[in-house]
């Protein structure tokens, strides 16, 4: 006798299929956010926005001002949380087969930490979509980081956060120049010339993102070490540092962020998702 649950099993997606869909949706949302961030940064670099470099909050405000912006912002928020689900699948299900060695657990811990950071970003985007404007200051990550400096354990946590972000930036730079990122996109739909273009786009994109993360982590650790909240720098502050380095530096990083966004959009369309 056929099982009465078989029709439901045919209709409902499997957990693995759901996680894959969330991952692809997350890649697309991150790609879209980075393209917007890169364009705004490029506009600041060439003087269209004056000297005002953008922060992540302004990226979401820009998305909100687009046609159907409120809906777009909700979609981005849900997509970012979808990416969080993928990160925790990597952590808990060990989809990357890192194992339980010290190195493997460190990698899986990094996946979880990355998921937490994107969870904060996704929640912020959802709050902005809910309120219809920028949420109250006490709901922002920057506010929490500034408050942490005034507490001993918060200061230690801030220093640890800075070191992890710095390490993440160095990993991004290593992935860029070692070519380790090249296993994330399925090459079969592309010609050899297209594969080279996508590869170099990823190389430039991961380099730009790694540089920004290194600066952010460094200043976060420095703020904890000096117990000085004013030394914390978000993306806007890091872009200002790059702008002060000399003409052309911020332009290159801005183009790199756009390249990273496009690379993530390509990954959303042609991903390699291991372990599922």
| Grouped pLDDT means (10 residues each) for the chain, 276 residues | 51 76 94 95 83 82 90 94 93 90 90 90 89 62 62 80 92 90 90 95 95 94 85 89 88 96 96 83
pTM score, whole prediction: 0.88
The answer as to whether 122 is a domain residue is: yes
φ, ψ for residue 151, nearest 5 deg: -125, 140
How far apart CA 239 and CA 254 sit, in angstroms, is: 9
The answer as to whether 146 is a domain residue is: yes
The answer as to whether 2 is a domain residue is: no
The answer as to whether 1 is a domain residue is: no
Number of domains forming the structure of the chain: 1
Residue 9 CB neighbours (<10 A): 9
The answer as to whether 88 is a domain residue is: yes
The answer as to whether 54 is a domain residue is: yes
So what's the pLDDT on residue 41?
A: 92
Contact yes or no for 131/100 (Cβ under 8 A): no
Task: Give the structural domain span for 141.
Answer: 15-269
How far, in Å, are 40, 93, 103 from residue 34 at the CA level? 10, 28, 30
The answer as to whether 8 is a domain residue is: no
So what's the pLDDT on residue 132?
A: 74
- Which residues have a Cβ under 8 Å from the Cβ of 207 and sit 6 or more positions away? 172, 173, 176, 177, 256
The answer as to whether 127 is a domain residue is: yes
């Amino acid at each position: 006798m056929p099982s009465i649950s078989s029709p439901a099993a045919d209709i409902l997606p499997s957990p693995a299929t759901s996680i894959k869909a969330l991952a692809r949706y997350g890649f697309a949302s991150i790609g879209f956010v980075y393209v917007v961030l890169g364009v705004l940064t490029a506009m600041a670099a060439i003087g269209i926005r004056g000297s005002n470099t953008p922060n992540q909050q302004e990226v979401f405000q820009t998305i909100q001002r687009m046609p159907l912006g409120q809906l777009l912002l909700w979609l981005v928020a849900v997509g970012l949380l979808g990416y969080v689900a993928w990160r925790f699948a990597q952590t808990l299900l060990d989809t990357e087969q890192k194992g339980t060695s010290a190195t493997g657990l460190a990698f899986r811990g990094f996946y979880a930490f990355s998921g937490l950071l994107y969870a904060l970003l996704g929640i912020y985007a959802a709050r902005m979509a809910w309120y219809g404007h920028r949420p109250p200051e006490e709901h922002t990550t920057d506010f929490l980081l500034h408050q942490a400096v005034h507490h001993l354990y918060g200061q230690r946590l801030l220093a640890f956060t800075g070191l992890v972000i710095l390490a993440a930036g160095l990993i991004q730079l290593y992935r860029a120049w070692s070519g380790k990122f090249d296993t994330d996109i399925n090459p079969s739909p592309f010609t050899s010339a297209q594969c080279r273009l996508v590869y170099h786009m990823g190389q430039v994109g991961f380099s730009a993102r790694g540089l920004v993360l290194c600066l952010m982590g460094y200043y976060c650790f420095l703020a904890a070490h000096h117990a000085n909240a004013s030394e914390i720098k978000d993306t806007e502050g890091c872009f200002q540092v790059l702008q002060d380095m000399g003409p052309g530096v911020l332009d290159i990083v801005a183009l790199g962020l756009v390249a990273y966004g496009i690379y993530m959009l390509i990954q959303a369309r042609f991903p390699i998702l291991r372990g599922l």
